[in-house]
Amino acid sequence: MGTTARCSPLRDTRALRDAIERCDAVVQLAAMSNDPLGELDAALTRQVNLDATLRVIELAGDRPLVLYSSASVYGVSAEPCTEHARVRPLTLYSELKVATERAALKRATALVLRNGTVHGPAPVLRGDLLLNAMVAAAVATGSIALTTTPATMRPVVDVRDLAALTVGLLERGVAGLYNSAAANISVGEAAALVARITGATIVERHDGADPRNYAMDTSRLDGVVGSWWHPRPLEDSIRDLLVHYRQCRLTAADVTTRRYHRIIQYRSRPSYLQPAAAK
């Protein structure tokens, strides 16, 4: 099966309609992502993450639709959250995720995945996400800085496993709302695991301001995937990241440049933040 890449702003309704008309199914994951990036330009975030995403949902028509949401809609929770748990969005990004979830779930064929924090090697890799950032720091500097409380919890999933899960659920016609993660891990546990595999040291700074703290109960997803989805162990993802960064000859300078940080990328390319032409 061939793949045709077509690049255009999500806010370009004409291009969006034309692209969707050529598709059998729609997987909507384009967004100003994630929580910190969503604060960079609130107006743009609303245009893309809400207005344009609602257009995608509308234009999808009767096609199968997968909407990527986020575990961050849970905000803070002392217990692992099921899909029925109260949402507590703490950022504009997560607030708009809740709004688009509700719109998508009005469609019988829609699948909404509340994804954990993604990690793992990829052609365009986000170096500012939990495990990706820790392994990058370990490779480039030999140390891992903890900027938040070590007990802070996060659900996580390898990007390759998430892609396989999405395709598998689409092929099986699964619809509804599902928590999507391979494991829950504390920030401290993640750092210790990366340190053990890479030999890096851990430096605790605790100077971060991120109040989010949540784990997810994935029992509902587990009941659907049965034995066909096998997310890889975190250790394997970390080792793969280690190989990836070394092959890329990652340096300490790279860790804080636009090569791996989405916010820095946007700030360095003002054209990204310009309004799309009216269509």
Q: How far is CA 191 from the centre of its chain?
A: 19
DSSP secondary structure string for all residues of 4-47: ------TT-HHHHHHHHHT-SSEEE--SS-SHHHHTT-HHHHII
Torsion of CA 48, 53, 54, 55, to 10 degrees: 90
Closest CA to 229 of 174, 266, 151, 150: 174
Query: By mean pLDDT, which of 200-209, 221-230, 265-274 is the weakest?
Result: 265-274
Closest CA to 87 of 108, 69, 104, 111: 69
Q: Is the pLDDT of residue 169 over 90?
A: yes
Q: How far is CA 268 from the centre of its chain?
A: 22
Contacts of 106 (CB under 8 A, 6+ apart): none
CA dist., res. 147 & res. 138, Å (int): 15
Query: By mean pLDDT, which of 82-91, 160-169, 207-216 is the weakest?
Result: 207-216
CA dist., res. 213 & res. 76, Å (int): 5
Element (H, E) at 164: helix 159-171
Average pLDDT value for residue range 252-262: 68
Higher pLDDT residue, 1 or 246? 246
- Say what the pTM is: 0.91
Look at residue 84 in the predicted model and tell me its pLDDT: 97
Q: Is the pLDDT of residue 39 over 70?
A: yes
Look at residue 279 in the predicted model and tell me its pLDDT: 44
Q: In this structure, what are the phi and psi dihedrals at residue 168, rounded to the nearest 5 degrees?
A: -65, -40
Q: Is the pLDDT of residue 1 over 60?
A: no
Residue 78: both structure tokens together: 């002392």
- Condensed to tens digits (0 to 9), the pLDDT of residues 56-74 reads 999 999 999 999 999 999 9
Q: Is the pLDDT of residue 129 over 50?
A: yes
Closest CA to 155 of 184, 121, 198, 192: 184
**Full set of structural domains in the chain with CATH:** 13-273 (3.40.50.720)
Q: Is the pLDDT of residue 269 over 90?
A: no
Look at residue 277 in the predicted model and tell me its pLDDT: 46
Higher pLDDT residue, 225 or 1? 225
Look at residue 278 in the predicted model and tell me its pLDDT: 41
Look at residue 266 in the predicted model and tell me its pLDDT: 66
Share of the chain above pLDDT 90, in %: 70
Look at residue 41 in the predicted model and tell me its pLDDT: 85
First to last CA, the chain: 32
Q: Long-range pairs for 56-60 at CB < 8 Å and ≥24 separation?
A: 56/10, 56/16, 56/20, 56/26, 56/28, 57/28, 57/100, 57/103, 57/104, 57/107, 57/110, 59/16, 59/17, 59/20, 60/20, 60/26, 60/28, 60/107
Per DSSP (E only), the strands in the chain are 26-28, 65-70, 110-115, 117-119, 143-146, 153-158, 176-180, 183-186, 201-204
CA angle 102, 103, 108 (to 5 degrees): 95
Look at residue 66 in the predicted model and tell me its pLDDT: 98
> Would residue 67 be called left, alpha or beta, if left means φ above 0 and alpha means ψ between -120 and 50 degrees?
beta
